[in-house]
């Protein structure tokens, strides 16, 4: 199966070409854009962990190490397309349009963190595992019924493939030929459970065969491979050629969440050594150096301006007026039914309000 | 100065052990630079600096177990993070919501606990409501329902027996409490406004029906010259215009006194007929009920022991009770024990009536409108203030002649108020 | 103002079909999906003829996967469609529970209204038709406690069509429960075309001053019979068909019970955690001082719905309801 579904790659860990199919498209401009987006995501992620440790936000879910998978794939999506993230996919959603402030608000426990910018079809993070595959299928199916060429991309992890909704999602998309890209980030662990305990299948991509759909296995830390192969899948979807299951093999360096300690279930040295070898940002830096695109000052200025942007977002997040309790009551239905109104009123009275 | 605290970094942690400090006092630190490593039950974590500056004071040692919320070290911030003013996390503004939830249950219902109750009265909520609205203490009612439960009928019976005060009862309170237009339309027809027939109105009705059904009523009329008693009242008032000496008494107080004096001579009208025992019980005390009109209908406060009280006393008591009757402030004891009832409808008008006796009493006298009338005295026509009275009595107990004699005695006393001085005790 | 409207004698299941047809004719974005809803017209024939009229792009046979049906309906609903998803039986809804609980019912709340899920989940339910195991469950209370869901149960053809149309027009997810016992039990004049029976409004089926009866769905037939027997015994019942279980018609419940001071609640779902308990609380909150007797509940038992050899024991009967009425009246 691993032979049937080889890990597609464009540049290797040393930043060297392994597949030159897209060479003409890989310009300095594209490279720098992808590098910028990945660095922005990484610095945001580290800030998220720090804010949690400082008690300024709640539990945070880090994605460091998965930047190439999320940014390469989200860059392949176009205006009007749909994105269905999990709680670990803020690199994808910030690339697709979420503001950093909104993302921080989500982790600060604010409902506003679920709201996409006007015109951006970004669903709130799915917390129940794999349930979002069906939403992506449904939304894509709706686009097909409407006769547009829009597509959905849905993110999920290796553990999600064990859920019934994974299979139902793939099957429905396959049956109805829905324009969906099922983008799996195989980071090797579902919290603490390694993939060997999750499945006997050697790859996740091979599961596409059962649903008569295209399956693609990628080096998820090669941003070019992710971008171009996802783009191909999206193009196929737009043309009505059906869904694709993409498996992007990657690695999360950190914990499952800030409330988790990965040293309890895996050797931390592996993450440390991977930072030196397979890291997606380092790999792109090496590539840029190889291709004479690298400029130390540019990189330093970039880090500085991104840091400033992030600090500004933190400031905006912290300066948000306190959440209003009415937000809890007033959006359950289009119009509050009497039980909610009377509970709202009784609660307000108990607080001595109004 | 920025305080670096241990926060709950692991979803429900309460404490953590300080493993290692990456900094010492006097060190310069940048934003997000690791300061200290802390181990909790769930995670081992580095706490990054929330601000750039100099480490001022390290408050704990490696190996210390610190609780969530305690300060680990302080930083003299040179350049605070953009959110400097909020470097104290958990914005206070969001906290009160939770505090108040915790603080809410202060007015719990059963503060006393069940053990403080002497006995538990069994009664349905609706029955209790009837009792409450009539000012009846349900604990005083003997239940006749299943398991000793107090029934609606028990409460009504208790009220009828005169041993219950008649208190606040408004038609509004028996309307459904839920505002529902459907409810309103359901009880109203198109051509007539409907007033609920319940509460006090219904009790009055019951009493009247009971009285008329059991007592063969006879009413006879008399007219009384009240000029003298009114003059007397005016004189007394003139002598004590500010009522400092309690001389400003009502004419009605004299009527009450006159009735009481007359009853002494005709005790048959200060009595109760007990048909079961086949006795007419002559009451020793003269307790005169004052039929009073209030917004919610007829109510009868009682002036008790009139035989022991002077006119001033009676006047004060009457005034007080009538006022309280009109404002629904009578107590149960204010309305019990009547032996004879007067109905002073004069101020409202009317020249005659056939009043219904306040069962189980024997008689009732109504005082009508006073009006200046040309009257022949001797051979002269003079203007006098004349008032009609209507005297209803139980013909089972007394006969017409006795009633006429009683009325004449009352008339005599009122027309010649100084006669009453003879009755001073 | 009345305009002459033609009516047809329809069973409840036909009225349901008619409701869907009317809305599909009116709104292009109304689609029907579920297991066997297309060519087969649904196992109860509730979608009979729809695929012929509207085509298989709007009347969709899905794979046999309840979570898949609801999950994709969520995607369709928040992307412009109004899916009417059929669960073959309410007892088969459990695989979709996660989708309904964690997504359909709360997406509006999660996004403060940025995303909404206007969809209808139709499900036949209830015992009494000698169906196989699991087919007869009455688990409406699982959904009345689900914030963000409305739950509707018609008891007759007229209400079924009018309520279904209101459910389809509702901007939020509605669980529309169809009592199987009522599907073909009676025919009734049902107006052609579109009309609404509003959600959240109960109906008074019989006026009485002695005891209030609250029921819904297939239990309406049972309580109507019981009320007739009670009347022969001199007890006049105020019979209320709740029709919507969330939100309940508080005003009518309170008004009725404030008039009678006595109530009997009847449902075939298990007693513990059932709607009856919710109604008791509602009476407690609104009408405590009017109560002359404890509220009686006649419900299914806290047991799985038995196989049909015993289902008549499980289901509230008119006899049980009459006893409860008498108990309340004579308290």
Q: Which residue from B7, B11, B32 is facing A55, i.e. has the nearest CB?
A: B7
Residue B288 has pLDDT above 60, yes or no: yes
Residue A353 confidence (pLDDT): 54
- C155 and C256 fall within a common domain: no
Best mutation target among C255, C260, C287, C293 (most B Cβ atoms within 10 Å) is C255
Q: Give CA–CA dist A235/A242, Å, rounded.
A: 10
Q: Rounded to a whole number, what is the distance in Å from the CA of C200 to chain B's nearest CA?
A: 14
With contact defined as beta carbons under 8 Å apart, do B362 and B226 qualify? no
Across B113-129, average pLDDT: 70
Closest CA to C254 of C221, C223, C212, C296: C212
Residue B175 confidence (pLDDT): 39
SS3 A64: coil
Q: Give CA–CA dist C109/A287, Å, rounded.
A: 45
**Residue of chain A minimizing CA distance to B105:** A350
For C298, residues 6+ apart whose C-beta sits below 8 A from its C-beta are C264, C265, C266, C316, C320, C321, C324
C55: left (phi over 0), alpha (psi -120 to 50) or beta: left
DSSP B347-405: GG--S---PPP-TTBSEEEEEEEEEEEEEEETTEEEEEEEEEEEEEEETTT--HHHHHH
DSSP at A303: H
Residue C3 lies in a domain: no
User: Would you name the residues of B annotated as active-site residues?
Assistant: 395
Q: Give CA–CA dist C9/C184, Å, rounded.
A: 12
Residue B115 confidence (pLDDT): 41
- C177 and C225 fall within a common domain: no
Pairing of strands B34-39, B52-58: unpaired
Assigned token pair, B32? 């997000």
Residue C249 lies in a domain: yes
Chain C touched by A322 (CB under 8 Å) = no
In angstroms, what is the C-alpha Rg of chain C? Answer: 20
- Please name the residue that has the structure tokens 């038992």: C301
Residue B163 confidence (pLDDT): 60
- C187 and C216 fall within a common domain: no
Residue B178 has pLDDT above 70, yes or no: no
| C83-122 pLDDT per residue, tens | 999 999 999 999 999 999 999 999 999 999 999 999 999 9
Cis preceding-peptide flag for B360 (omega within 30 of 0): yes
Residue C5 lies in a domain: no
- C131 and C212 fall within a common domain: no
Residue B150 confidence (pLDDT): 92
Residue C73 lies in a domain: yes
Residue B206 confidence (pLDDT): 81
- Please name the residue that has the structure tokens 């109304």: C30
Q: Give CA–CA dist B319/B342, Å, rounded.
A: 15
Closest CA to B416 of B264, B278, B227, B257: B227
Is A252 a catalytic site residue? Answer: yes
Across B122-143, average pLDDT: 89
Collect all residues of chain A within an 8 Å Cβ-Cβ radius of residue C247: 337-339
Residue C20 lies in a domain: yes
Assigned token pair, A264? 């309890």
**Residue of chain B minimizing CA distance to C254:** B178
Collect all residues of chain C within an 8 Å Cβ-Cβ radius of residue A128: 98, 102-103
Contact partners for chain B, using 3 or more CB pairs closer than 8 A, are A, C
Best mutation target among B183, B184, B185, B194 (most C Cβ atoms within 10 Å) is B183
- C280 and C215 fall within a common domain: yes
- C20 and C132 fall within a common domain: yes
- C214 and C325 fall within a common domain: yes
Its ipTM equals: 0.90
With contact defined as beta carbons under 8 Å apart, do B135 and B332 qualify? yes
Contact partners for chain C, using 3 or more CB pairs closer than 8 A, are A, B
For A227, residues 6+ apart whose C-beta sits below 8 A from its C-beta are A34, A72, A73, A75, A76
Pure H helices in chain C: 12-26, 50-54, 66-77, 97-99, 107-110, 140-144, 157-169, 180-183, 219-232, 250-260, 275-287, 311-314, 318-330
CB contact under 8 A, A338 and C250: yes
DSSP at C176: E
Dihedral Cα B156, B160, B164, B170, nearest 10 deg:
60
Q: Which residue from A47, A53, A325 is facing B9, i.e. has the nearest CB?
A: A53
Q: Give CA–CA dist A103/B81, Å, rounded.
A: 19
Given CA atoms C100, C106, C110, C116 in this order, what sign does their dihedral have? positive
Residue C201 has pLDDT above 50, yes or no: yes
Instruction: Give the structural domain span for C51.
Output: 11-191
Best mutation target among C68, C105, C170, C172 (most A Cβ atoms within 10 Å) is C68
- pLDDT band of residue B119 (cuts 50, 70, 90) is low
Q: Rounded to a whole number, what is the distance in Å from the CA of C270 to chain B's nearest CA?
A: 27
- C250 and C106 fall within a common domain: no
- pLDDT band of residue B80 (cuts 50, 70, 90) is low
For residue B15, the cross-strand partners are B67
CA contacts within 13 A on the Cβ side of B377: 10
Collect all residues of chain A within an 8 Å Cβ-Cβ radius of residue B47: 53-54
In angstroms, what is the C-alpha Rg of chain B? Answer: 40
Counting every residue written for chain B, the total comes to: 425
Q: Which residue from C79, C103, C171 is facing A142, i.e. has the nearest CB?
A: C79
Collect all residues of chain A within an 8 Å Cβ-Cβ radius of residue C102: 127-128, 131
Residue B118 has pLDDT above 80, yes or no: no
Tell me phi and psi for residue B42, to 5 degrees: -95, -40
Collect all residues of chain C within an 8 Å Cβ-Cβ radius of residue A145: 31, 57, 76, 81
Residue C197 lies in a domain: no
Residue B292 confidence (pLDDT): 86
Residue C299 confidence (pLDDT): 97
Q: Rounded to a whole number, what is the distance in Å from the CA of C120 to chain A's nearest CA?
A: 14
Q: Which residue from C65, C75, C108 is facing A141, i.e. has the nearest CB?
A: C75
Q: Which residue from C251, C289, C292 is facing B178, i.e. has the nearest CB?
A: C251
In angstroms, what is the C-alpha Rg of chain A? Answer: 21
Residue B90 has pLDDT above 60, yes or no: no
DSSP at A329: H
Q: Rounded to a whole number, what is the distance in Å from the CA of C205 to chain B's nearest CA?
A: 14
Neighbours of A117 (CB within 10 A): 12
Least confident of B9-23, B188-202, C40-54: B188-202
- pLDDT band of residue B330 (cuts 50, 70, 90) is confident
B74's enclosing H/E stretch is: strand B71-79
CB contact under 8 A, B89 and A54: yes
Residue B108 has pLDDT above 60, yes or no: no
SS3 B223: strand
Q: Rounded to a whole number, what is the distance in Å from the CA of B111 to chain A's nearest CA?
A: 18
SS3 C244: strand
- C177 and C209 fall within a common domain: no
CATH number at residue C212: 3.40.50.920
Q: Rounded to a whole number, what is the distance in Å from the CA of A61 to chain C's nearest CA?
A: 18
| C7-34 pLDDT per residue, tens | 999 999 999 999 999 999 999 999 999 9
Total count of domains within chain C: 2
Across B372-378, average pLDDT: 86
pLDDT (tens digit, 0 to 9) for every residue of chain A, 354 residues total? 889 999 999 999 999 999 999 999 999 999 999 999 999 999 999 999 999 999 999 999 999 999 999 999 999 999 999 999 999 999 999 999 999 999 999 999 999 999 999 999 999 999 999 999 999 999 999 999 999 999 999 999 999 999 999 999 999 999 999 999 999 999 999 999 999 999 999 999 999 999 999 999 999 999 999 999 999 999 999 999 999 999 999 999 999 999 998 988 998 888 899 999 999 999 999 999 999 999 999 999 999 999 999 999 999 999 999 999 999 999 999 999 999 999 999 999 888 754
DSSP A75-122: HT--TT-EEE-BTT-HHHHHHHT--HHHHHHHHTT-GGGGPPPTT-EE
Best mutation target among A318, A326, A345, A347 (most B Cβ atoms within 10 Å) is A318
Residue B167 confidence (pLDDT): 42
Collect all residues of chain B within an 8 Å Cβ-Cβ radius of residue A352: 100
Tell me phi and psi for residue C164, to 5 degrees: -65, -40
* Overall pTM > 0.90: no
CATH number at residue C183: 3.40.50.970
With contact defined as beta carbons under 8 Å apart, do B18 and B70 qualify? no
Pairing of strands A82-84, C150-152: unpaired
Least confident of A157-166, B331-340, C293-302: B331-340
Closest CA to B17 of B90, B68, B89: B68
- C44 and C145 fall within a common domain: yes
Q: Give CA–CA dist A104/A44, Å, rounded.
A: 9
Closest CA to C269 of C167, C182, C143: C143
Across B234-249, average pLDDT: 87
- Which of C138, C166, C191 is where one domain is finished? C191
Q: Which residue has the higher pLDDT, A10 or B88?
A: A10
Q: Which residue from C255, C286, C289 is facing B182, i.e. has the nearest CB?
A: C255
Cis preceding-peptide flag for C247 (omega within 30 of 0): yes
Q: Which of B188-202, B251-265, B356-370, C216-230 has the highest mean pLDDT?
A: C216-230
For B34, residues 6+ apart whose C-beta sits below 8 A from its C-beta are B22, B46, B47, B48, B49
| B289-325 pLDDT per residue, tens | 998 887 778 888 999 999 988 888 999 999 888 888 8
CA distances from A269 to B40, C25, C173, C306 (A): 21, 64, 49, 58
- Please name the residue that has the structure tokens 């302080």: B74
Residue B328 confidence (pLDDT): 76
- C58 and C95 fall within a common domain: yes
Neighbours of B174 (CB within 10 A): 17
Collect all residues of chain C within an 8 Å Cβ-Cβ radius of residue A146: 80
- Which of C134, C165, C191 is where one domain is finished? C191
SS3 C192: coil
- C178 and C208 fall within a common domain: no
Residue C130 lies in a domain: yes
User: Would you name the residues of C annotated as active-site residues?
Assistant: 135
User: Which residues 100-119 of A have a C-beta within 8 angstroms of C?
Assistant: 111-112, 114-116
Contact partners for chain A, using 3 or more CB pairs closer than 8 A, are B, C
Given CA atoms A241, A245, A248, A249 in this order, what sign does their dihedral have? negative
Residue C171 confidence (pLDDT): 97
SS3 C123: strand
- Which of C191, C218, C249 is where one domain is finished? C191
Residue C196 lies in a domain: no
């Amino acid at each position: 199966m691993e032979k049937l579904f080889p890990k597609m790659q464009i540049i290797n860990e040393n930043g060297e070409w392994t597949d030159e199919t897209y060479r003409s498209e890989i310009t300095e401009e594209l490279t720098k854009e992808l590098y910028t987006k990945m660095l922005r995501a990484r610095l945001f992620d580290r800030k998220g962990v720090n804010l949690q440790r400082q008690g300024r936000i709640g539990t945070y879910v880090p994605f460091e190490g998965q930047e190439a998978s999320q940014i390469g794939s989200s860059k392949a999506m176009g205006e009007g397309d749909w994105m269905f993230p999990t709680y670990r996919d803020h690199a994808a959603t910030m690339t697709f349009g979420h503001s950093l402030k909104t993302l921080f608000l989500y982790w600060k426990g604010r409902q506003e963190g679920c709201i996409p910018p006007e015109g951006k079809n970004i669903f709130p993070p799915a917390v129940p595992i794999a349930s979002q595959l069906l939403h992506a299928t449904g939304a894509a199916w709706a686009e097909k019924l409407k006769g547009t060429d829009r597509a959905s991309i849905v993110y999920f992890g290796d553990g999600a493939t064990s859920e019934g909704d994974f299979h139902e999602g793939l099957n429905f998309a396959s049956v109805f030929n829905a324009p969906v890209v099922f983008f799996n980030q195989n980071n090797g662990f579902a919290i603490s459970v390694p993939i060997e305990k999750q499945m006997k299948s050697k790859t996740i991509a091979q599961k596409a065969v059962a649903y008569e759909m295209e399956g693609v296995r990628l080096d998820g830390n090669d941003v070019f491979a992710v971008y171009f192969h996802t783009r191909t899948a999206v193009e196929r979807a737009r043309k009505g050629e059906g869904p694709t299951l993409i498996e992007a093999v990657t690695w999360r360096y950190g914990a499952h969440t800030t409330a988790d300690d990965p040293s309890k279930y895996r050797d931390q040295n592996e993450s440390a050594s991977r930072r030196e070898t397979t890291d997606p940002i380092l790999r792109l830096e090496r590539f840029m150096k190889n291709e004479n695109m690298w400029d130390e000052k540019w990189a330093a200025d970039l880090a500085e301006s991104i840091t400033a942007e992030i600090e500004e977002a933190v400031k905006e997040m912290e300066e948000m007026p306190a959440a209003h309790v009415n937000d809890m009551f007033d959006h359950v239905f289009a119009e509050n039914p009497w039980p909610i109104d009377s509970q709202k009123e009784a609660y307000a009275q108990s607080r001595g309000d109004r | 100065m920025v305080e670096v605290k241990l926060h709950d970094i692991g979803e429900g942690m309460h404490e953590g052990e300080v493993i290692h400090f990456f900094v010492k006092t006097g060190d310069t630190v940048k934003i997000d630079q690791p300061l200290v490593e802390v181990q909790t039950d769930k995670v081992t974590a580095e706490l990054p600096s929330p601000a750039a500056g100099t480490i001022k004071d390290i408050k704990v040692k490696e190996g210390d177990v610190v609780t969530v919320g305690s300060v680990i070290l302080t930083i003299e911030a040179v350049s605070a993070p953009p959110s400097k003013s909020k470097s104290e996390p958990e914005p206070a503004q969001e906290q009160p919501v939770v505090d108040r939830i915790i603080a809410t249950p202060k007015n719990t219902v059963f503060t006393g606990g069940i053990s403080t109750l002497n006995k538990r009265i069994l009664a349905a909520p609706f029955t209790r409501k009837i009792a409450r609205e009539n000012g009846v203490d349900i604990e005083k009612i003997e239940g006749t329902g299943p398991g000793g439960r107090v029934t609606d009928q028990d409460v009504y019976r208790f009220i009828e027996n005169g041993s219950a005060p008649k208190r606040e009862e408004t038609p509004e309170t028996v309307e459904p409490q839920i505002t529902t237009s459907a409810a309103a339309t359901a009880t109203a027809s198109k051509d007539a406004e409907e007033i609920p027939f319940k509460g006090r109105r219904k009790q009055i009705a019951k009493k009247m029906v009971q009285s008329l059904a059991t007592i063969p009523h006879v009413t006879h009329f008399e007219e009384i010259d009240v000029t003298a008693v009114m003059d007397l009242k005016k004189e007394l008032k003139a002598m004590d215009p500010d009522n400092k000496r309690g001389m400003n008494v009502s004419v009605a107080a004299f009527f009450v006194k006159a009735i009481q004096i007359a009853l002494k001579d005709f005790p048959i009208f200060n009595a109760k007929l007990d048909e079961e025992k086949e006795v007419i019980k002559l009451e020793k005390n003269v307790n005169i009920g004052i039929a009073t009109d209030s917004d919610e209908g007829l109510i009868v406060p009682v002036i008790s022991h009139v035989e022991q009280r002077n006119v001033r006393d009676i006047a004060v008591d009457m005034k007080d009770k009538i006022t309280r009757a009109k404002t629904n402030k009578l107590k149960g004891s204010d309305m019990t024990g009547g032996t004879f009832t007067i109905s002073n409808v004069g101020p409202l008008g009317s020249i005659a009536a056939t009043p219904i006796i306040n069962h189980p009493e024997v008689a009732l006298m109504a005082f009508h409108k006073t009006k200046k009338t040309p009257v022949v005295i001797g051979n002269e026509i003079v203007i006098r203030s004349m008032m009609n009275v209507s005297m209803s009595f139980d013909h089972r107990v007394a006969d017409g002649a006795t009633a006429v004699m009683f009325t004449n005695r009352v008339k005599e006393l009122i027309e010649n108020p100084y006669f009453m001085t003879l009755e001073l005790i | 103002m009345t305009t002459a409207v033609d009516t047809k004698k329809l069973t409840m299941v036909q009225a349901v079909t008619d409701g869907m047809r009317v809305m599909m004719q009116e709104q292009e974005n109304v689609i029907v999906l579920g297991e066997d809803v297309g060519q087969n017209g649904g196992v109860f024939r509730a979608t009979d003829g729809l695929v012929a009229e509207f085509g298989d792009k709007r009347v969709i046979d899905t794979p046999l996967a309840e979570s898949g049906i609801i999950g994709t309906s969520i995607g369709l609903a928040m992307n412009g469609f109004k899916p009417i998803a059929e669960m073959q039986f309410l007892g088969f809804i459990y695989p979709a529970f996660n989708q309904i609980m964690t997504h359909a019912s709360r997406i509006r709340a999660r996004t403060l209204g940025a995303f909404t899920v206007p969809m209808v989940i139709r499900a036949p339910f209830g015992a009494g038709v000698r169906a196989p195991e699991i087919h007869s469950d009455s688990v409406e209370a699982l959904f009345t406690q689900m914030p963000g869901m409305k739950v509707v149960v018609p008891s007759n053809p007229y209400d079924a069509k009018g309520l279904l149309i209101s459910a389809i027009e509702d901007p939020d997810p509605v669980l529309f429960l169809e009592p199987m016992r009522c599907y073909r039990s009676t025919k009734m004049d049902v107006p052609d075309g579109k009309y609404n029976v509003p959600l959240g409004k109960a109906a008074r089926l019989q006026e009485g001053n002695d005891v209030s009866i609250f029921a819904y769905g297939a239990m309406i037939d049972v309580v109507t019979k019981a009320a007739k027997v009670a009347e022969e015994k001199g007890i006049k019942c105020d019979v209320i068909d709740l029709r919507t279980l969330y939100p309940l018609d508080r005003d009518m419940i309170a008004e009725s019970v404030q008039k009678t001071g006595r109530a009997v609640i009847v449902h075939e779902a298990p007693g513990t955690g059932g709607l009856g308990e919710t109604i008791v609380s509602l009476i407690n909150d609104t009408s405590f001082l009017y109560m002359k007797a404890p509220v009686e509940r006649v419900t299914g038992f806290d047991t799985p719905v038995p196989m049909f050899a015993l289902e008549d024991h499980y289901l509230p009967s008119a006899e049980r309801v009459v006893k409860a009425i008498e108990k309340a009246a004579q308290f």
